[in-house]
Amino acid sequence: MTRSRRQVPFRRESVETPDGDELLLDHVDGPPGSPRLLVLHGLEGSSYSVYVQGLLAGARARGWRGVAVNFRSCARRPENLSAWLPNRRPRLYHSGETSDLDFVVRRLSSEDPGAPLLAAGVSLGGNVLLKWLGENAGQSAIFAAAAISVPYDLGAGATHMDAAFGRFYVRIFLKSLRVKAADLAARFPKAAERIDLTRALSTSSFRGFDDAATGPLHGFTGAADYYARSSSLGFIGGIATPTLCLSSGDDPFLPARVLEEAKARASSSIDFRTTPRGGHIGFVSASGRFWAEETALEWMEKKLRV
């Protein structure tokens, strides 16, 4: 089933980050003071990913405002959605990078302190969101959150995707990740010295790419260190914010046993739900409705009424 990548109108805002880079935020405007939904996309996604559009369209239908964060190097040109916009600094983004989310949350909450701020993260974006919530257990800026198809254990997920159907996704993602690594190395020669570009461009696995590029580029010793320090599995026990976590037992991005471990580690503030089927960011009902997105929005809406 295909969906439009332009379900909602955007107002794009470029914000300067503390380290001199920029983040592109795509806003869905609405009534002043109404709840605002902050959405984080998955690996190599953007504000134009169909699930981001679906969540924002659902928020708009409820009279809420919305804002989608485009992780660094992920923003798309509105006139050409196949073209991404490179960022200014010698870094990209990754599953455990929470400083940009922290910056955006604090900016949004200070701009509109009286309006409820909700957050939804999908896949990689869900891992980032859960990690941030665990790191900031005492936060009050985000009222409630939802995370869909989160790869809680990045190392186990990388191993799992090297087998069977997961290889299909790996090939797709690595194609664009290699282009970004090569572009960054060409623009920032000093940063290129920290990575093994030859290996990054030739590897056929996430672990190989993360060991050669993602890890060393962002201050990790390699893939193992990156996975250990960035997996949300180690942070969900500290989450105090009301949070809904939706996953599928047949998600090709991670073994089902990880979901059992995540459920066992989850704090009492997390409503952890697993369905037998749904794939990765799938969850399409027999009637053609996108169950996970609707469930997440309904769950957060109920929290607002309490």
280 is catalytic: yes
Q: Is residue 164 predicted with pLDDT exceeding 70?
A: no
DSSP 97-150: --HHHHHHHHHHHHHSTTS-EEEEEETHHHHHHHHHHHHTTT--SEEEEEEES-
**pTM of the predicted model as reported, rounded to 2 decimal places:** 0.97
Q: What's the pLDDT band for 288 if we cut at 50, 70, 90?
A: confident
Q: If we measure between CA atoms, which residue out of 65, 160, 60 comes closest to residue 116?
A: 65
112 is catalytic: no
Tell me what the mean pLDDT of segment 38-58 comes to.
97
Q: Is residue 133 predicted with pLDDT exceeding 90?
A: yes
Distance, CA of 94 to CA of 71 (rounded, Å): 9
pLDDT number for residue 1: 58
Kindly name the residue from 46, 123, 149, 247 that is annotated as catalytic.
Answer: 123
CA–CA distances in Å: residue 178 to residues 37, 117, 164, 182, 208? 32, 35, 22, 6, 12
Structural domains in the chain? Answer: 11-153+233-305 (3.40.50.1820), 156-230 (no CATH)
Tell me what the mean pLDDT of segment 164-184 comes to.
91
Q: What phi and psi values does residue 118 have, to the nearest 5 degrees? A: -110, 160
240-259 pLDDT per residue, tens: 999 999 999 999 999 999 99
Distance, CA of 101 to CA of 123 (rounded, Å): 15
